[in-house]
Amino acid sequence: MTALLEVKDVSKQYGSDTLALANISFSVKEGEFVSVIGPSGAGKSTLLRCINRMIDASSGTITFDGVNVPTLNKRELRRLRTKIGMIFQHYNLVNRLSVMENVLHGRLGFKSTVAGALGIYTEAEKQQAVEILSILGLSEQMYKRCDQLSGGQKQRVGIGRALLQNPKMLLCDEPIASLDPNASKIIMDHLQNISSSMGITVLINLHQVEIALKYSDRIIGVSRGEVVYNGSPDKMTNEDIVRIYGSEAETLMIDVGDKDVGDKNAG
C-alpha cells in the first residue's frame, strides 16, 4: 500500500500568538483507518481542515493522491475536495431539505453550476443515493425532512452525502461527539465498514480514547499542535496517554491492556 496522504512539517498560526499546529508530519496509507486524538484545543480540527484547505496552513507541504495541496488553484482545489468527503460533529445538513436532497449534495462538485444550483441530478446519481441510503439503513427516511431525524440518523445522512462524492478519503471531525453511546456505535461501525469494504481511507478526530483504540488501525496523538504519538493502538501505553492528554489523562479513566490509567478515583 502506498501513502495516500503525506503531511510534512505543517504549521498553522492564527493571528500572531496562537500556534495551532507546529511542524506536524505524518502519512496515511490507502484504506487505513486513522484516529487523531488529543485534548481540547490541541489542533485536531485545524489539522483536518488544512488537508482539504478549508483552512490554509501557514507552512509545510501536504500531498494527497499525488497532488501538492497548498499550491492548487481554485479549480484544482474544488477537484481535490470532491475526492475528500467530510463529516462534522453537528452534521451540517440543510434542515429544510429532504434526506435525499441532502445526500445528493455530495454530487454538487461534479456538476455544472446551473444543474447543481437547480438540483438537477441524473438517474444514475439518484440510483447511487438510494443504494447508499439503504446501506446506511435510511431507506425509510428517504423523503423525510432532515429536521425530523434523530442525531444518529442525521449523522448517517452526513456520511451518505460524503459517500456520494465517491471519495478516496473521509475526514471526520468528532462525528460522534453529540451522540449517545448507542448511536455512536452505529456510526463507528458504519465508518469501519466503509473503510474495510469500500477501501476508503478514514481520518477521524475523536474525543473518546477507548473508541479510538477499538476501531483504529493507527492512532495519532496530538498535543499542543504537535504529534506526540503515532502508532498502532496495541502499542499504546499509559505513558503515551499521559503524554497526549497531560494532566487531563487522570480524568479519562481508560483501560490500556490490563493497566489502568487514571483509576486513582475509580478504585
Partner 1 sequence: MGLRMKPAVAGQENAVLNRQAKIKVKPFTKEAFVIRTTLISLVLLTVYGFFTFDYKDASLVGGTLSMLRNFGVMFFEPHFSHFTFWEAVYQVLITLGLAVLTTLLGGIAALLLGLLAAQNLTNKTVSNIVKGVIAFIRAVPTVLWVLIFAVAAGLGSVAAVIGMTFHSVGYLTKAYSESFEEMDNGIIEALKASGARWWQIIFQAVIPASIRYIVSWTFLRFEINFGVAVAMGAAAGAGGIGFDLFMASGFYFDLREVGTITYFILTVAILLEMTAMRIKKKLKTA
Which chain residues interact with partner 1 by CB under 8 A? Answer: 52, 54, 78-82, 84-86, 88, 90, 92-97, 101, 105-106, 108-111, 113, 116-119, 158, 161-162, 165, 171
With CB under 6 A as the contact rule, the residue among 40, 112, 182, 265 that binds ligand ATP is 40
Nearer of residues 22 and 77 to ligand ATP, judged by Cβ: 22
What is the dihedral angle through the alpha carbons of 8, 12, 18, 24, rounded to the nearest 10 degrees? -20
Separation of CA 233 from chain center = 18
The amino acid at residue 147 is: D
Q: State which amino acid sits at residue 212.
A: A
Q: Is 221 in the site for ligand ATP (CB under 6 A)?
A: no
Q: Is 202 helix (H, G, I), strand (E, B) or coil?
A: strand
Query: CA end-to-end span of the chain, whole Å?
Result: 44
Q: Which residues neighbour 248 within 8 Å (Cβ) at sequence distance 6 or greater? A: 39
* # of chain residues touching ligand ATP (CB under 6 A): 12
The whole-angstrom separation of Cα 168 and Cα 74 is: 20
Least gap, CB of 172 to partner 1 (angstroms): 12
Tell me if 35 contacts ligand ATP by CB under 6 A.
Answer: no
Given the complex with partner 1, which of 23 and 178 has the nearer CB atom? 178
Q: How far is the CB of 186 from Mg ion (least distance, A)?
A: 22
Interface residues toward ligand ATP, by CB under 6 A? 14-15, 18, 20, 38, 40-46
